Chains A and B, each alone.
Chain A
Amino acid sequence: MKKVLSVISALAILTSFTACGGNTSDQKDDTSSKTTTAAKDDNSAEATTAAKEDKGDGKKETINVWSFTKEVPGMVDKFLELNPDFAAKYEINVTNIPTTNNEYTPALDKALQAGGKDAPDLYCAEAAFVLKYTQGDMSNYAAPYKDLGIDVDAEIDAAKIAPYSVEIGTNPSGDVVGLGYQATGGAFIYRRSIAKDAFGSDEPSKVEEAIGAGSGNWDKFFEAAETLKGKGYAIISGDGDLWHAVENSSDKGWIVDDKLHIDPKREAFIDLSKKLKDNGYMNSTTDWGDAWFADMRDEGEKGVLGYFGPAWLINYTIGQNCGSWKETGEKDENGEAIKELDTSIGTWGDWAVCTPPVGFFWGGTWLLCNKDSDKKEAVGQIIDWVTLNCTKDGLQYMWANGTYDPKNPTKDCVASETVLNMSDGTLDFLGGQDMNEVFIKGNAYANGKNLTPYDEHINKAWRDQVTQYTEGNKSREDAIKDFKLNVEETLDFEAE
């Protein structure tokens, strides 16, 4: 044992020695990383062709953009394309790190803390972790929009940005530091044929009446579920669908005054879930599982009336999985199977949206600027164009009307109500309904005050215990007790 100790202490001395050695080698590496940056700049200049064409006066400043998808970097490229003057002065260096295994936030945190030339100038945050950067531990790195040369308050008023989005993007001292381009306020997206069969009409107003739209409670919704059950239908696919609505309609978030707070609306979810399961009001699927998608094309156990979700759920999820895309058997010049829309199969066109019983939002991306950036003005121009410009030249107009990417003309719901009002939100998928009417209401209903930076973990723990209760594996009391214990031991928040 003595020997081991002496070895350890000898090693410890050596360690401090090698640590010094490491410092010299890091300087060497610093220079090498500079050269690689230069190489990278060439690459990104290629990517933005517009930037290259206008390359006149040689030196350009680099704006570092950090993101977890290629959506925002694509928008920045588009901005450069549309603004040759800007592209002549700046070029973009994109850092794209996925959130798959939670690698994005640690890397972003380190890069913000390290500062310097390679630090992010413009960075993105997703709904799951945005609060950390706008109100939490890292909020002191976010520059207020007003310091970027943006007249925030006036522009927010003019664009009529969804209030929940502003609430989330406001830091503790009351300055707006982050805004998004999408609005992810939720609607109830339902099947017309099933509504007609069960309620006698597929009109949104009639369905709204049947499910108690805007009532703030679930009584009418469960009455409707009973009606649907009588006709052999389920009202929703899985309890996860209900959870998204419940979560964001509650009055308070999970953490209040540094203690775990179980909002009565969220607590009620455990009973709602049990009721759905025991009465067979749902197909008991898991969100993003095979069976969940099967319900979208009407191949589940029972027909499902609808899903709770924002506009992106229509575009990217239900629209793609509605089962109406048929392979023609022919191939194009590339040997690709040509697919065509066949409305005689699947559920395309059989959908509509209406206001849900409670207001909620789901997902979204916020854009922030580093307070230490020396290119705030330039970043401000990009942010302004993406998040606040409510004219037909702004990003949001293109985004809402499907003209952003001609190859992929999907219409999405954007943050600015002004833009939505002048856009056309009619979709064939929805049988010609204008989705904007419903989503404008949905965006207004949504509440950004009940998020916390710990939601991802706490939500998972809560839904896990709810499933244990609905599956009949433990009692309601035990489920709640175990949930509290989990949060207390993993996140160090005692229950109230």
Chain B
Amino acid sequence: MAVVKKSAGSYTFKIVAYAVCILLTVLSIFPFIIMLVNATRSSAQIQQHALSLIPGHNLKMNWSYFASQSFNPFTGFKNSIIVACCATLCTVYFSTMTAFALVAYEWKLRKPFFTFIMAVLMIPAQVSSIGFYNMMYKWHWTNSLLPLILPAIAAPTVVFFMRQYMIPSLPMEILQSARIDGAGEFRIFNQIVLPMMKPAMATQAIFSFVTSWNSLFMPSILNTKTEKFTMPQMVALLNGDSYKTEYGTVYLGLFLTVLPILVAYFFLSKYIIEGVALGGVKG
């Protein structure tokens, strides 16, 4: 009797769970389908019905319009890849390192330093951007990819996450035994701590890759030369022609912009889904 009851309960549970998951899947994929479909439609079709599930025949034309612009889409692609990859690496590596410093060592300024990181994390970003771009102009640090990459080294949110993640999951004994084996602190970090942090790093890598890839305001203000444009800037350029926007091309551009993130995401999601790290180390 008890067995029957349990299986009935798990049966309803499964129905509910799958229903919710499928509904959410539809909700999540929907905009991508719209983007893909619109990338194949003509501007006039999109203006008449912005949302449609029936593909058009304009994909090739939209692409040729996209490729015939004053900019080179591949340059934008390359710039975006450079910026997003470097920024992601910087964010993840240095944030983990900082979190490690906060968790693994006793030092005098540790607590105030953490409080301070937390405080700055909370400042609204809209206006400190005024200060940032005024400073970049003062230093003539425009039309360079570096101002889009280097600030990623200091990512308070990521440090906070890494710290929170590390506190319960980094066993001090492992550090000890490594030290006994004669490993230097830097090596301990690179060879023992980093692999253990994989799920957390993969998670934050995705977030920072997406943020960096999608950012538009700062690149637009700092980069004025076409050969330094990022993908989102180029798409915005298509969109900016206020009298005759080629919507199909804009959607194609948006879709092409999203593709690399999807690839990066599918690649990194392996770590999140499988949860490689900790069990292995502990066991």
Contact = CB atoms under 8 A, between A and B. Distances in A.
* Binding partners A and B: yes
Contact of B58 (A25, A99, A337): A337
Interface string B170-214: 000000000000000000000000000000000000000000000
A367 B19 CA distance: 59
B220 A321 contact: no
Given A26-B139, A69-B241, A331 B57 contact: yes
Contacts of A106: 133, 221
Interface string B91-113: 00000000000000000010111
Interface stretch (A191-199, A244-252, A290-298): A290-298
A111 B244 contact: no
Given A101-B217, A294-B48, A337 B227 contact: no
A25 B147 CA distance: 12
A107 B143 CA distance: 11
Interface stretch (A36-44, A424-432, A484-492): A36-44
A97 B144 contact: no
Contacts of A331: 57
Interface in A86-116: 94-101, 103-104, 106-107, 110-111, 114
Given A33-B143, A103-B217, A97 B50 contact: no
B44 A100 contact: no
Given A3-B112, A33-B144, A100 B47 contact: no
Interface string B105-142: 00001011101100100000000000001000101111
A33 B224 CA distance: 12
B169 interface: no
Given A22-B139, A40-B227, A107-B224, A363 B243 contact: yes
Interface string A314-330: 00110011010101000
Contact of B47 (A23, A290, A325): A290
Interface string B41-54: 00110011110000
A323 B48 CA distance: 9
Contact of B227 (A36, A101, A290, A316): A36
Contacts of A320: 43-44, 47, 244
Contacts, number: 138
B27 to A, nearest CB: 22
B157 interface: no
Contact of A96 (B43, B143, B217, B226): B226
Contact of A70 (B61, B69, B239): B69
A158 interface: no
A335 interface: yes
Contacts of B264: none
B262 interface: no
Contacts of A39: 227
A103 to B, nearest CB: 4
Interface in B56-79: 56-58, 60-61, 69-71
A94 B237 CA distance: 13
B237 A96 contact: yes
Given A4-B116, A70-B241, A337-B58, A94 B70 contact: yes
Nearest to A312: B243
B242 A97 contact: no
B81 interface: no
B239 A98 contact: yes
Interface residues of A, number: 58
> Which of B57, B143, B217, B243 neighbours the largest number of chain A CB atoms within 10 Å of its CB?
B243
Contacts of B244: 316, 320
B48 A297 contact: yes
A7 interface: yes
A57 interface: no
B270 interface: no
A99 B242 contact: yes
A317 B241 CA distance: 13
B240 interface: yes
A43 B227 contact: yes
Interface in A358-404: 363
Contacts of B116: 4, 7-8
B236 interface: yes
Contacts of B115: 4
B226 A94 contact: yes
> Which of A23, A106, A110 neighbours the largest number of chain B CB atoms within 10 Å of its CB?
A110
B48 A98 contact: no
Contacts of B140: 26, 29-30, 33, 114
A47 B68 CA distance: 11
A68 interface: yes
A70 B97 CA distance: 46
B48 A290 contact: yes
Given A40-B227, A47-B70, A7 B109 contact: yes
A68 B240 contact: yes
A363 B241 CA distance: 12
A354 B145 CA distance: 53
A199 B242 CA distance: 35
B216 interface: yes
B14 interface: no
A26 B143 CA distance: 12
Contacts of B240: 68-69, 97-100, 104
B144 A32 contact: yes
A257 interface: no
A73 interface: yes
Nearest to B244: A316
17 contacts: A23-B139, A33-B140, A33-B144, A37-B225, A40-B226, A43-B227, A73-B70, A96-B226, A101-B216, A101-B220, A103-B216, A103-B220, A107-B220, A110-B133, A110-B142, A336-B61, A363-B243
Q: Which 7 A-B pairs have the closest CB atoms?
A: A98-B240, A103-B220, A337-B57, A26-B139, A316-B244, A3-B112, A98-B236
Interface of B: 43-44, 47-50, 56-58, 60-61, 69-71, 109, 111-113, 115-116, 119, 133, 137, 139-144, 146, 216-217, 220-221, 224-228, 233, 236-237, 239-244
Given A4-B112, A29-B140, A36-B228, 18 more contacts: A3-B111, A22-B139, A33-B143, A36-B227, A39-B227, A70-B70, A98-B233, A99-B242, A100-B236, A103-B220, A110-B137, A290-B50, A293-B48, A294-B48, A320-B47, A335-B57, A336-B58, A336-B61
